[in-house]
């Protein structure tokens, strides 16, 4: 049984069919790479998954149960979390507050009265340790590096019991050391049974971290493979739809 199944997802915008009958089957405790050239529809597929866009057709199942996901907060409560390509934290709030924002419908931009601050801080500290982030939860989020903010987002997802975490080009602004740190966290999450969807253009990263790969091209589903069963050259060929081995390293 799959952790996540997307079946027959289609989505059109005026003048463009962004997704045409897309399938995505993610195994429990696996890292699933989603690859395709710019404009292939990867981000649109994830936005459909999180209810940011309404799909024209298609169904979503989590652990075999059909889900109707209304918006990203709803997704979070149903076990799906997204770590964005462009992070969307509230920089002038503390790390702990950012981890608790959006968790309760009543919390908005007023004072966070719903939960006890001391309790919130100790909770936050516990989950930050889980992602090996050695920071004071009372610090403002804006004091952190991009990599550290990303870890806060992952900690938040984990603290909410996320079963599926989506990383959209997570390494685009990370140093080599930060990438190693992120991969260590990903491996530990996978070990604990969390499934991750890893969107990236970087072949070496896919090789290193992903178990399975789904390739999209021009809004269509090309196929799904175990990474160990498909060569770099074949991945590129499937992404662009023809032999083009000199373009990508
Ligand atoms: P990828 O993430 O693989 O680079 P996208 O999902 O961003 O691809 O885009 C897929 C296609 O859908 C592109 O042709 C893009 O221009 C189009 N698209 C995405 N979002 C919108 C939108 N809100 N309105 C119109 N077209 C869109
Ligand atoms: Mg893109
Ligand atoms: Mg994208």
* Residues pairing with 67 in the sheet: 60
- Please tell me the number of the ligand nearest to residue 169's CA: 3
Alpha carbons 96 and 248: distance in angstroms, whole number: 42
Top pLDDT among 143 and 228 is at 228
Give the chain's radius of gyration (CA, Å): 18
ipTM score of complex:
0.97
- Write down the pLDDT at residue 64: 97
Top pLDDT among 130 and 247 is at 130
Tell me, in angstroms, the distance from the centre of ligand 2 to residue 149's CA: 21
Q: How confident is the model at residue 248 (pLDDT cuts 50, 70, 90)?
A: low
Read off the pLDDT of residues 23-81 as tens digits, 9 standing for 90 and up.
999 999 999 999 999 999 999 999 999 999 999 999 999 999 999 999 988 998 899 99
> 3-state secondary structure string, the chain?
CCCEEEEEEEEEECCEEEEEEEEEEECCCCEEEEECCCCCCHHHHHHHHCCCCCCCEEEEEECCEEECCCCHHHHHHCCEEEECCCCCCCCCCEHHHHHHCCCCCCCCCCCCCCCCHHHHHHHHHHHHHHCCCCCCCCCEHHHCCHHHHHHHHHHHHHHCCCCEEEEECCCCCCCHHHHHHHHHHHHHHHHCCCEEEEECCCHHHHHHHCCEEEEEECCEEEEEEEHHHCCHHHHHHHHHCCCCCCCCC
CATH 3.20.20.80 is the classification of domain 1-79+163-249: no
- Write down the pLDDT at residue 113: 55
Top pLDDT among 112 and 12 is at 12
Cβ distance 151 to 133 under 8 Å? Answer: yes
- Write down the pLDDT at residue 106: 42
- Write down the pLDDT at residue 174: 92
- Write down the pLDDT at residue 108: 46
Q: Which residues crowd ion ligand 2, with CB under 5 Å?
A: 38
Read off the pLDDT of residues 136-155 as tens digits, 9 standing for 90 and up.
999 998 888 889 989 999 99
41 CB burial (10 A radius; 0-12, 13-18, 19+): buried
- Mutation choice for ligand 1 from 12, 13, 20, CB with most ligand atoms inside 8 A: 13
What pTM did the predictor assign?
0.90
- Write down the pLDDT at residue 246: 56
215: pLDDT strictly greater than 50: yes
Nearest CA to ligand 1 atom 24: 13
Nearest CA to ligand 1 atom 10: 41
Tell me, in angstroms, the distance from the centre of ligand 2 to residue 35's CA: 11
Which protein residues are within 6 Å of ligand 1, measured from CB? 13, 16, 18, 36, 38-44
Read off the pLDDT of residues 83-136 as tens digits, 9 standing for 90 and up.
875 556 677 788 888 888 766 644 444 555 556 778 888 889 999 998 889 999
Boundaries of every domain in the chain: 1-79+163-249, 88-161
- Write down the pLDDT at residue 146: 87
């Amino acid at each position: 049984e799959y952790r996540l199944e997307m079946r027959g997802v289609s989505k059109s915008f005026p003048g463009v069919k962004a997704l045409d009958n897309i399938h995505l089957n993610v195994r429990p405790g696996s890292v699933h790479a989603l690859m395709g050239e710019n404009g292939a529809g990867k981000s649109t597929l994830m936005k459909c998954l999180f209810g940011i866009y309404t799909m024209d057709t298609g169904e979503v199942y989590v652990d075999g149960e059909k889900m109707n996901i209304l918006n990203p907060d709803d997704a979070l409560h149903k076990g799906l979390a997204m770590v964005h390509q462009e992070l969307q934290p509230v920089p002038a709030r503390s790390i702990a507050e950012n981890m608790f924002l959006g968790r309760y419908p009543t919390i908005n931009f007023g004072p966070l009265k719903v939960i006890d601050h001391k309790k919130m801080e100790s909770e936050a500290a516990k989950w930050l340790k889980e992602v090996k982030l050695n920071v004071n939860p009372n610090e403002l989020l804006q004091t952190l590096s991009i990599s550290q903010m990303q870890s806060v987002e992952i900690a938040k997802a984990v603290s909410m019991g996320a079963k599926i975490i989506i990383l959209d080009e997570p390494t685009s602004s990370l140093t080599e050391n930060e990438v190693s740190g992120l991969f260590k966290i990903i491996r530990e999450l996978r070990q604990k049974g969390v499934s991750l969807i890893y969107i990236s253009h970087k072949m070496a990263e896919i090789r290193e971290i992903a178990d399975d790969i789904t390739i999209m091209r021009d809004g269509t589903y090309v196929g799904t493979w175990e990474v160990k069963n498909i060569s770099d050259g074949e991945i590129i060929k499937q992404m662009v739809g023809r032999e083009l081995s000199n373009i990508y390293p």
